[in-house]
């Protein structure tokens, strides 16, 4: 209890101490932002003029999502920084964004229009009342001839019709304005729900022996911001290298817009502890399984329904080969011992709305070894792959990739860089000019019982047809079962020269094909097991 009282008293005295010092509010321009995967470091710069003695400098209108432990202040000049404190001011909200201001101006304009229309309706109502009152007076006190009565009625009717229709139109117009007003008020309410935030503040207590001028540099980390990579991977022809367009998708909802700042994108993860982890004792015991209820069998998946290459209209997606492509923005890459940072040379503005903005940070070309791969047991298509060696030198990160082949959109893929091989394989979609077929050879497929064992023979004919005008290299993959029981024997009867992995059962054929060439491969295997047992093989 004494500790709590002492702490409270110290906080109160600190507050009184700050209040007792001359306070000076300063403006510090946001100069540079380094964006990490899930946060951002912001840097400000300000010129200051200090009187003799101690002065408290206040920098306000900052994000309320500042990590207090990350605040750093550096001073340059003939003065001393005594202390730095951070707080959120809940009595002062951040300045409204330009979007909110625009919505408010639209709302005010509509409210003025509604007032004008209502005032006009009031005048028309008075005119309507005047016509009705005069009609009654004229009917009581004046005797009209037929012609006079007719002209009076026409005059009254035309005026009343005009007044009534005008009032009706203005009433409809007011309803339309009120709908727009309600929509704008809802938009403002939604935006204010996100942006009605307290103001972050940094206080710097400085001491000067004489009146001096100097500069202050502020740095801090904010949450609600980050970036993630994505790629456009293009192959114009299998004779050319792969073009990789490396993009950063940046977002921020820190409460303060970033206006014309220099952006840097870093793959560092400063939130991960730098301490070496500790291995604790690993205790083991007998495993006791927990009884589980049997669930219903999952619905099967038709593997043959693999997606084919999407065909897009040439007029929409094909590019003119002779036109020069727009140059990327200048980016400087800095490679450290454990991190990579991309510095964008052109200033950017990122509003605090959480929306994704895409910035191209690197454009690379990499030599690739192109090869087709087919797995007819799973999908009877031929897939073009690009194999990039020494890919680690490209400084890539895991992310989604959009694939283009021969100026046509192929589809999307995931770029997996978390692998231990020195070759990165990219799938570029299917090629319909290569036909693949897998058929069971019924005459060579049989079941027979010999003694206490049953033997099943399976044979397949694998056919590949190259309809392209150029030669290709293609890897054909299939498999035979792998026995996990000593009572089951699997034998590869005919593999047509394929490489058999005994541990996985996978079989590969590396085939080179000339234009318009057809090749056939026979795969035959047998499975022997006790006749009183059941083995599911198809």
pLDDT of residue 79: 92
pLDDT of residue 327: 62
pLDDT of residue 515: 93
pLDDT of residue 57: 93
Residue the block writes with tokens 């020269």:
497
Length of the chain: 538
- First vs last Cα of the chain: how many Å apart? 75
Listing DSSP states for 461-519 in one string gives EEEEEE-SSS-EEEEEEEE-----STT-EEEEEE-TT-EE-TTT-EEEEEEEE-TT-EE
Q: Considering the chain, what percentage of its residues have pLDDT values greater than 70?
A: 76
Alpha helices in 257-406 (DSSP H): 314-317
pLDDT tens figures, 178-225: 888 888 877 776 665 555 678 899 999 999 999 999 999 999 999 989
pLDDT of residue 321: 40
Paired residues of 33 in beta bridges: 42, 263
CB atoms within 10 A of CB 302: 6
What confidence tier does 301 reach under pLDDT thresholds 50, 70, 90?
Answer: very low
pLDDT of residue 138: 57
pLDDT of residue 105: 83
Asked if pLDDT for residue 402 goes beyond 50, the answer is: yes
* Closest listed residue to residue 223, CA positions, set 100, 380, 40: 40
Listing DSSP states for 24-39 in one string gives EEE--EEEEEEEETTE
pLDDT of residue 323: 55
pLDDT of residue 109: 86
Give mean pLDDT, residues 283-295: 58
Could you tell me whether strands 340-344 and 23-26 are parallel, antiparallel, or unpaired per DSSP bridges? unpaired
Lowest mean pLDDT among 46-60, 264-278, 468-482, 524-538: 264-278
Q: Token pair of 270, please?
A: 């400063």
Lowest mean pLDDT among 397-406, 421-430, 465-474: 421-430
Q: Considering the chain, what percentage of its residues have pLDDT values greater than 90?
A: 32
* Closest listed residue to residue 443, CA positions, set 500, 524, 389: 524
């Amino acid at each position: 209890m004494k500790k709590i009282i002492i702490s409270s008293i110290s906080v109160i005295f600190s507050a009184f101490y700050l209040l007792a010092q001359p306070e000076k509010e300063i403006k510090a321009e946001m100069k540079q932002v380094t964006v990490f995967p899930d946060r951002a470091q912001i840097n400000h710069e300000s010129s200051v003029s200090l009187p003799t003695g101690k002065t408290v400098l206040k920098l306000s209108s900052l994000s309320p999502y500042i990590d207090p432990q990350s605040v750093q202040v550096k001073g340059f000049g003939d003065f001393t920084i005594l202390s730095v404190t951070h707080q959120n001011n809940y009595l002062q909200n951040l300045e409204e964004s330009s979007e909110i201001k625009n919505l408010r101006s639209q709302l005010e304009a509509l409210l003025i229009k509604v007032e004008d229309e209502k005032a006009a309706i009031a005048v028309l109502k008075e005119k309507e009342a005047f016509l009705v009152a005069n009609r009654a007076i004229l009917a009581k006190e004046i005797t009209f001839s037929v012609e006079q009565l007719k002209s009076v009625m026409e005059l009254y009717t035309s005026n009343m019709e005009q007044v009534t229709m005008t009032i009706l139109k203005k009433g409809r117009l007011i309803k339309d304005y009120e709908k727009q007003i309600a929509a704008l008020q809802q938009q403002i309410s939604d935006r204010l729900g996100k942006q009605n935030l307290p103001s972050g503040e940094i206080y710097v207590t400085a001491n000067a022996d004489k009146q001096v001028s100097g500069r202050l540099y502020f740095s801090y980390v904010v949450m609600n911001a980050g970036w993630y990579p994505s790629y456009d991977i293009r192959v114009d022809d299998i004779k050319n290298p792969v073009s990789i367009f490396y993009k950063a998708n940046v977002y921020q909802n820190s409460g303060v817009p970033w206006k014309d700042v220099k952006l840097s994108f870093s793959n560092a993860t400063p939130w991960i502890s730098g301490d070496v982890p500790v291995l604790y004792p690993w205790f083991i015991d007998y495993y006791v399984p927990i009884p589980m209820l049997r669930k219903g069998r999952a619905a099967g998946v038709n593997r043959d329904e693999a997606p084919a290459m999407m065909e897009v209209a040439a007029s929409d997606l094909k590019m003119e080969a002779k036109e020069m492509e727009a140059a990327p923005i200048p980016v400087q890459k800095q490679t450290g011992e454990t991190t990579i940072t991309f510095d964008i040379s052109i200033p950017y503005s990122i509003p605090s709305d959480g929306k994704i903005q895409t910035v191209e940070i690197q454009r690379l070309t990499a030599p690739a070894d192109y090869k087709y791969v087919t797995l007819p047991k799973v999908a009877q298509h031929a897939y073009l792959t690009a194999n990039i060696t020494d890919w680690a030198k490209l400084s890539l990160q895991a992310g989604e990739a959009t694939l283009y082949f021969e100026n046509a959109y192929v589809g999307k893929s995931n770029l997996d860089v978390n692998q231990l091989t020195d070759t990165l394989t990219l799938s570029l979609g299917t090629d319909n000019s290569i036909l693949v077929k897998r058929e069971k050879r019924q005459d060579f497929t049989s079941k027979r019982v010999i003694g206490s064992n049953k033997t099943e023979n399976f044979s397949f004919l694998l056919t590949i047809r190259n309809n392209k005008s150029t030669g290709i290299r293609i890897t054909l993959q299939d498999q035979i079962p792998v026995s996990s029981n000593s009572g089951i024997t699997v034998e590869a009867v005919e593999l047509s020269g394929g490489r058999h992995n005994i541990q996985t059962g996978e079989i590969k054929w590396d085939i080179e094909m000339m234009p318009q060439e057809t090749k056939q491969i026979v795969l035959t295997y047998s499975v022997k097991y006790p006749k009183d047992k059941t083995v599911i093989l198809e």
